[in-house]
Structure 1
Amino acid sequence: MRLTLRWQPSRNLAGLALLGWLVASVPLSLANAAQMPGFDEVYGLLRSNLTGMAEAELEQALLKGLLQQLGPRVNLITNASESVTGGQAGHGLTKSAVFDQSFGYLRVAHVGAGLATAVSEALAKLNATNRLQGLALDLRYADGFDYAEAVNVADQFVAEERPLLSWGETKARSSAKTNAFGHPITVLINGQTAGAAEALAAMLREARAGLIIGGPSAGQASLFKEFALRTGHRLRIATTPVHLGDGQAIPHTGLTPDILVAVNAEDEKQYYADAYKVIAKPVSPPPPGRAATNQTSGATNRASRLNEADLVRMKREGLDPASVVTGSDRVTAPPKPVVMDPALARALDLL
């Protein structure tokens, strides 16, 4: 297959659309498989023939397309407070809970120093009042670049000694132990699970300690270098991949979950804030010619009536018939709350 470009000068923005296709839409694998036109040739034609756009605007369009094509391995950093070591301070364990008095839940927002200790203490506290039979580790929206701390967390769930992770010149192994958390683990990830959080999820799966559920991760498990630019921005470039214990690099395309649970991005944020939230969905109108029906129309709220035998029995026992609660007036226990978060519900079902 030979990919060729026939350029026809135009006095509109069609040329820019074509360049955007070349830079941002064509996968790099296709560029290797087919001969692409030379950049200098295309750029020269655009500069000479494209009207209605200044050269500076053209360069900005090229830059945006290039960053889009190379992301997430290349990022333009505009926030001065963000650094390659992660955007948050502290261990990042933000929530612990128990579902059905049997399944622990830990939420991590950031993999940083002290996370392993926080996880250990949280598990001990949950076990003190419950008999845990499994754990859901929620790494959705979690980030961080502290790979050593990610290893320390994973080590708590691996009983035997084995290689876990390597990055740069560092190679880390788990230690043999008898007090490892030996119950089933499900790990929740999504498109914003990044860096050391991705490595933590990958280690638990590779060690056969956990099952990954949710959506593909961000693909930022690498060592990065930052370069200052004249504009004050910083260019962050992935320079070294992070490898699992079996020698496989964590892919820059992100982790693929063992069980994919597709959730709308906006809905996922709401479920993350409240796992029991009921999100109203639009109801499709009935087909033409078919009227909507009320499925509960046959139900009745009338209280059941006392018969003569009941009245005689109550009089014999000294009871007041007027004080008896019957029918719909009977007090029932409130319904048990149901987890509506699709990913979390699936994770708990598998424990």
Structure 2
Amino acid sequence: MAVLRKGILPILLAVVISFAGTRLVACAGPVWPSDDEQLFLDAYRDYVADNATSDQYDRADKLFVEAVQVLSDTYVENIDRPAFVERAIASLPELEAEDNTPSGIVGAALDESLHDLDPHSAYMTDEMFRRLQESTEGSFAGVGIVISQDEDKLIRIVSPIDDTPAARAGLQPNDRITHIDGHDMKGEPIAEAVRLMRGRIGDPVTLTIQRKQENFDVTVKRARIEVPSVTASIIDNDLAYIRVSRFDASTLDQTREYLEMLEDQIGSPRGIIVDLRRNPGGLLDSAADIADQFLSDGLIVATEGRGERKLRSYEADSSDYFDGVPMAILLDRGSASGAELMAAALRENGRGVIIGEQSFGKGSMQRIMPLTSGGGLKITTGYYTTPENHIVQGNGVIPDIEVKLQDAEEFEREVDLEHALPPRRRDPRKVLASMDAASCERDIEVTRIGKSATNDNSVDTEGDGEARELQRDTVLECAVGYFSDGQLAVYRDQVEPLLRAGL
């Protein structure tokens, strides 16, 4: 089993997307169809446009045969190849493919059949690869605005991001975007607005703006927009707070910058709160690196392939910020993949206590595998294991102190997804204490520091979803109470000895 120091492999060889740990692997070599695969190659031709060429058919045939071979070699479970091909044939009449070229039909059939294996395996077009790279870089090419949709179904600008084309063009909060390059945006979803505003760096996009009773056009050139994934605050003058909203290529540098600020401004805090709520994951290397900032030694995470074969592990070997300072890690049902692994690593190494809700339960690993015939596959190839050899997949991470929200929204977890892989090797821990969030209400003083003082990460930036209204954060107030007095202080006295004992 290889032990890797994080950051040694290039980023493109360790790509992990939201809800998935993913590695990029090139595939090559001749492929020949089996009798079963030939049945598919004969069947899909009935669904292709009449003007398809022989070269297009040859490319698509190779795409399918190569994809099945790669799947058979690398999927986390043994694949019944004839059954997979049979499902692909059965999917053809139901396909809703916009691209009816040979590769378009084959790609759609592969995608449908891969989703039947598990919810995270998929076929990826070249455009999907480009978006994947954007999502892991922590930046994108756009105009730089935070958007939402108002009650009239118009795209509303919540705020322009500082030092971006949108800010320099004079766009203002509460401006409405009625058209993008002439496309009427009334009633269109946020995702469509994002798609139209993103593009190549330097290319112009024209926004039609409604400001009170005035309508006018603004043309801006797209630029590289950096999206912060970390914010930090000082709470009640002596509690350090850091929130990590995802793990991308820039998250580690941001985290170190804020941790150094917190150490400089507080010195020896009463406690530190690490907030991983609504964090869907991201780059595995990034998640392991950030866990390492709080650990001087110990296993952080390992990966396990077909037949429980150990693949690799990530060991702590970095600095230890706030050494000896009590830590609370916040999780909720939206915390997934890397966020779950980081929380488990900190707790199982005796570093912190987990407060909040049981997490999402996404503990499978995906590899991105480009195909020589175009596009590629995202295939589940293994599971993540925690330092104590538990598997998060399907189980999630159980909090030490459970905080129950009165109006908790309905939220599917991994096990609720269609074709989800079954749970394995569950952590036997139980909740040590449970309480209603309302009982934690207390007035706290929150002082944001650094760039987060002006960029409020509680509102999603362009392309990441709709803006959320700020409201009382009773779970955070519970965590503050854990370091203070009252009911949670009693829990702290009970939980801390168990944590230090590794229970």
- TM (norm. structure 2) is 0.39
Unaligned runs of 5+ in 2: 1-82, 97-107, 140-226, 304-309, 412-455, 460-466, 484-503
Instruction: Indicate the SS of the match to 1:152.
Output: helix
Whole-Å separation in 1 of the counterparts to 2:392 and 2:133: 18
The correspondence for 1:106, drawn from 242, 253, 271, is 242
The one-letter code of the counterpart of 1:56 is E
* C-alpha spacing 1:208/1:82, structure 2 compared with 1 (3 Å): farther
The one-letter code of the counterpart of 2:409 is N
Residue pairs, 1:269-308, within 5 angstroms: 272-273=458-459, 277-278=470-471
Residue pairs, 1:38-57, within 5 angstroms: 56=94
Q: Deviations over 1:66-123 (max 9, x none)?
A: 9489435x46768554438955526954311111011111111221334334323312
The correspondence for 2:262, drawn from 126, 145, 162, is 126
Partner of 1:225: 367
Whole-Å separation in 1 of the counterparts to 2:386 and 2:117: 26
Q: Deviations over 1:248-298 (max 9, x none)?
A: 2222342233324343369xxx994499945xxxxxxxxxxxxxxxxxxxx
Whole-Å separation in 1 of the counterparts to 2:403 and 2:117: 25
Q: Deviations over 1:139-170 (max 9, x none)?
A: 123234432332222222224x3222213632
Residue pairs, 1:161-200, within 5 angstroms: 161-167=297-303, 169-175=311-317, 180-200=322-342
Whole-Å separation in 2 of the counterparts to 1:193 and 1:84: 22
Residue pairs, 1:127-146, within 5 angstroms: 127-130=263-266, 131-146=268-283
- Paired residues in the alignment total 238
* C-alpha spacing 1:71/1:217, structure 2 compared with 1 (3 Å): farther
Partner of 2:15: none
* C-alpha spacing 1:177/1:99, structure 2 compared with 1 (3 Å): closer
* C-alpha spacing 1:271/1:162, structure 2 compared with 1 (3 Å): closer
* C-alpha spacing 1:178/1:142, structure 2 compared with 1 (3 Å): closer
Whole-Å separation in 2 of the counterparts to 1:221 and 1:77: 21
* C-alpha spacing 1:205/1:75, structure 2 compared with 1 (3 Å): farther
User: Looking at both structures, which has the greater relative contact order when contacts are Cα pairs under 8 Å and sequence separation is at least 6?
Assistant: 2
Look at both structures and tell me which one has the larger radius of gyration over its CA atoms. Answer: 1
Partner of 1:264: 409
Identity %: 21
Instruction: Indicate the SS of the match to 1:149.
Output: helix
Partner of 1:285: none
* C-alpha spacing 1:86/1:169, structure 2 compared with 1 (3 Å): farther
Whole-Å separation in 2 of the counterparts to 1:123 and 1:343: 22
* C-alpha spacing 1:179/1:129, structure 2 compared with 1 (3 Å): closer
Say whether the 8 Å CA contact 1:163–1:245 is kept in structure 2: yes
Partner of 2:119: 71
Whole-Å separation in 1 of the counterparts to 2:285 and 2:474: 31
Partner of 1:236: 378
Say whether the 8 Å CA contact 2:361–2:396 is kept in structure 1: yes
Whole-Å separation in 2 of the counterparts to 1:216 and 1:68: 26
Whole-Å separation in 2 of the counterparts to 1:124 and 1:179: 8
The correspondence for 2:477, drawn from 333, 340, 345, is 345
* C-alpha spacing 1:89/1:260, structure 2 compared with 1 (3 Å): same
1:177, distance to aligned residue in structure 2 (A): 6.7
* C-alpha spacing 1:271/1:89, structure 2 compared with 1 (3 Å): closer
1:176, distance to aligned residue in structure 2 (A): 8.3
Whether 2:289 is the aligned partner of 1:152: answer yes
Whether 2:353 is the aligned partner of 1:211: answer yes
Unaligned runs of 5+ in 1: 1-38, 48-53, 279-339
Partner of 1:287: none
1:347, distance to aligned residue in structure 2 (A): 1.8
Whole-Å separation in 2 of the counterparts to 1:93 and 1:56: 40
Q: Deviations over 1:323-347 (max 9, x none)?
A: xxxxxxxxxxxxxxxxx21221212
Instruction: Indicate the SS of the match to 1:111.
Output: coil
Instruction: Indicate the SS of the match to 2:272.
Output: strand
**Bigger proportion of residues as strand:** 2
* C-alpha spacing 1:277/1:85, structure 2 compared with 1 (3 Å): closer
Whole-Å separation in 2 of the counterparts to 1:88 and 1:264: 30
- TM (norm. structure 1) is 0.53
